[in-house]
Amino acid sequence: MAILSNLGKYKNTGLLMMRVGLGILFLYHGYPKLLGGPAKWTEIGHATKYVGIHFLPTFWGLMAACTETFGGFLLVIGLAFRPVCLLLTINLVVAAFMHFGTGGGLTEAAHAIEDAVVFAGLIFVGPGRYSVDGK
């Protein structure tokens, strides 16, 4: 469509919109998990058993909460963008396996899978010009 053909020159604006939107949402979901303390971290960390990790659930839960919270902030500003996207991809793959493992099926796992695909793609694309990492 000719009307939309010139939008390619605004790819950095699109990346900024994606970074800020996803970053705010991950902050929103991660911060309560981080504040939940050891009981909440252990609950979250038990999801690792669905990928074969059966030790230190409190540690893994804390790492997942930190990844969502601090990763969300780093997404917004575009700092350490690719490592954050990698960690969020791993976090979301574990979440998807947890949904499948608890019998939720694709309906429950779809959101985690969708976000994992987006973050995996963003590893290759980068943060764009309007970021701390931008060039």
Q: What is the pLDDT of residues 83-134, one digit of tens each?
A: 999 999 999 999 999 999 999 999 999 999 999 999 999 999 999 999 998 6
Q: 135 in a domain, yes or no?
A: no
Domain that holds residue 27: 11-125
Number of domains in the chain: 1
User: Which pLDDT score, from 0 to 100, does residue 82 have?
Assistant: 97
Q: 4 in a domain, yes or no?
A: no
Q: 132 in a domain, yes or no?
A: no
pTM: 0.94
47-66 burial code (b ≥16 CB/10 A, e <16): bbbbeeeeeebbebbbbbbb
Q: 76 in a domain, yes or no?
A: yes
Band (pLDDT 50/70/90 cuts) for residue 17 is: very high
Q: What is the pLDDT of residues 26-79, one digit of tens each?
A: 999 999 999 999 999 999 999 999 999 999 999 999 999 999 999 999 999 999
